[in-house]
Structure 1
Amino acid sequence: MTDDTSARLFESARRAQAARLRRRQRAPRPPTPADRPPRLSPRQQVGSDYEERALALLARAGLRPLARNLRCRAGEIDLALRDGDTLVLVEVRARGDVRYGGAAASVGWAKQARLIRAARCLLPGLVARHWPARPPRVRFDVVAFEDDTPLWLRHAFDVPMR
């Protein structure tokens, strides 16, 4: 192969590569699943609406929102707020039918245990982010919606000490 032939091949390859780069830059990249907001089921949308209402109620009462829908493998905490020097972890419940005790009664011992396990998992990160000096007191509240009427149960349950 002569120098002239290899120079022409090199120039042809360079032009083809430049054209490919121009096409790639013009073409929009297809959206990835991480780009799209997560789709919520109708039931999850209703739950999210109740969480919004509970957050508005608590913010009007002077609590400062810190986080929403904190998840770990132990469970989920709906809302985390600050009430002075106290970290308030809130479970939001809604029931349309009071036949089985209503929304407040649905936070039984099993749900309380899941919330406590989730709090133990998530607490170090929350404390490090929002309380640099010393760990805060922690309080578990429940906001229960009975027939669209909110009922705020402050200090709904205690954590057994070991």
Structure 2
Amino acid sequence: MKEKTAVKGQAAEVAARQYLEQHGLKFVEQNARYRFGEIDLIMRDGNDWVFVEVKYRSHTQYGGAVNALSVAQTERLRKAANHYIQLNRIDAICRFDVIAADPAGIQWIRDAF
């Protein structure tokens, strides 16, 4: 069952990337992993850097994908993004977006946290 979920999650990341590119963002990197967290997508929106968390849920019950992001996950994403910013010496505006995908479609939440 985990393999099915992982495949659907990867498909959601591909769909999220395509969705964001269709809305004018430029792809930089996918699945930047560090021991304390992972960044699903790193994009550019003009001069701004965008760190994207992709959430996929196969059902819309319990609030669906939109409500699937925990406080602990946002903290891990912040740590990973901070590390990425330091490693790449980024001196620009950065933001955190969420792409929530479920059977109802894709929702893009800009400046999610």
If the length of structure 1 is used for normalisation, what is the TM-score?
Answer: 0.64
Deviation at 1:78, TM superposition (A): 0.3
Q: What is the distance in 2 between the residues matched to 1:73 and 1:148?
A: 33
Q: Aligned AA for 1:138? A: C
Which of 81, 85, 95 is the aligned partner of 1:139?
95
- On the 8 A contact 1:143/1:153 being kept in 2, the answer is yes
What SS does the aligned partner of 1:107 have? Answer: coil
Residue in structure 2 matched with residue 104 of structure 1 by the alignment: 66
Q: What is the distance in 1 between the residues matched to 2:32 and 2:48?
A: 18
Q: What is the distance in 1 between the residues matched to 2:60 and 2:35?
A: 30
Q: What is the distance in 1 between the residues matched to 2:63 and 2:21?
A: 27
Q: What is the distance in 1 between the residues matched to 2:16 and 2:101?
A: 9
Runs of 5+ consecutive residues of structure 1 not aligned to the other structure: 1-40, 158-162
Task: Give a deviation string over 1:70-112, Cα, whole Å, max 9, x none.
Answer: 0001110000000011100000001122322211111121211
Which protein has greater RCO, CA pairs closer than 8 Å, 6+ apart?
A: 2
Instruction: Give runs of aligned pairs for residues 1-162 of structure 1, distance below 5 A.
Output: 41-125=3-87, 127-128=88-89, 135-157=91-113
1:98/1:148 CA distance change after superposition, 3 Å: closer
Q: What is the distance in 2 between the residues matched to 1:115 and 1:72?
A: 10
Q: Aligned AA for 1:78? A: D
What SS does the aligned partner of 1:155 have? Answer: coil
Q: Which runs of 4+ in 1 moved over 4 A?
A: none
Structure with bigger gyration radius? 1
Q: What is the distance in 2 between the residues matched to 1:148 and 1:59?
A: 20
Deviation at 1:148, TM superposition (A): 4.9
Q: What is the distance in 1 between the residues matched to 2:104 and 2:30?
A: 21
Runs of 5+ consecutive residues of structure 2 not aligned to the other structure: none
Out of 110-119 and 65-74, give the one that drifted further: 110-119
Deviation at 1:56, TM superposition (A): 0.3
Out of 56-65 and 110-119, give the one that drifted further: 110-119
Deviation at 1:138, TM superposition (A): 0.7
